[in-house]
Amino acid sequence: MEKKNKKLIKQNNVLIRILSKDSVRLLILFALLIFTVISGKFPYVNLIANHYFYGIGVAMVLALLFFKQYFNERRNKIILICEIAIAVVVKIMGNQQVEDIVGFILFVTLLLIVILGIASQRSKLALYLKK
């Protein structure tokens, strides 16, 4: 039993160690994105082929969780401004498919910022309501 527990702990340690590496996390994200975007090649990919938006959404949420420490206020602003700039360019180009993806990414980005805002400000906001 003890031996088994030790093995488990060891396995967990390996997993945590692997996951703690940014490069591995990044790899996971890319793998997920590639998996979602490829369509029509394999039957299991086909299942989500028409719903790759959700894959992108999940990847974005994972990215936020994996690299939270890198997202400071300044970087957030830069990311947002970049996305808006890209959106304007895409809008001028007028490619509907690209527009759809950029619009969705923008939507999720803004949504994440709002959700994080609520999560971080919740106690203050609750206090404001109680006044």
Please give the structure tokens belonging to residue 69.
Answer: 């420490």
Q: Which residue has the tokens 């910022």?
A: 113
Q: Does 47 bind another protein (CB under 8 A)?
A: no
Binding track over 62-81 against another protein, x by CB under 8 A: -----------x--xx--xx
Give the one residue of 35, 53, 66, 71 binding another protein; rule: CB under 8 A: 53
Q: What is the DSSP string of 57-110?
A: HHHHHHHHHHTGGG--HHHHHHHHHHHHHHHHHHHHHT-HHHHHHHHHHHHHHH
Q: Which of residues 25 and 106 has its CB atom nearest to another protein in the complex?
A: 106
Residue pair 56/32 in contact by the 8 Å Cβ criterion? no
Binding track over 81-100 against another protein, x by CB under 8 A: x--x--xx-xxx-x-x--xx
Q: How many residues bind another protein (CB under 8 A)?
A: 39
User: Judged by CB under 8 A, which stretch of 5-13, 18-26, 61-69, 112-120 contacts another protein?
Assistant: 112-120
Q: How far are the Cα atoms of 10, 23, 109 from residue 16, in angstroms, in the given order? A: 10, 13, 27
Within a 13 Å sphere around the CA of 109, how many CA atoms are in the beta-carbon half? 18
CB of 35 to another protein, least distance (A): 17
Q: What are the residues binding another protein (CB under 8 A)?
A: 51, 53-54, 57, 73, 76-77, 80-81, 84, 87-88, 90-92, 94, 96, 99-100, 102-104, 106-107, 110-111, 113-114, 117-118, 121-122, 124-130
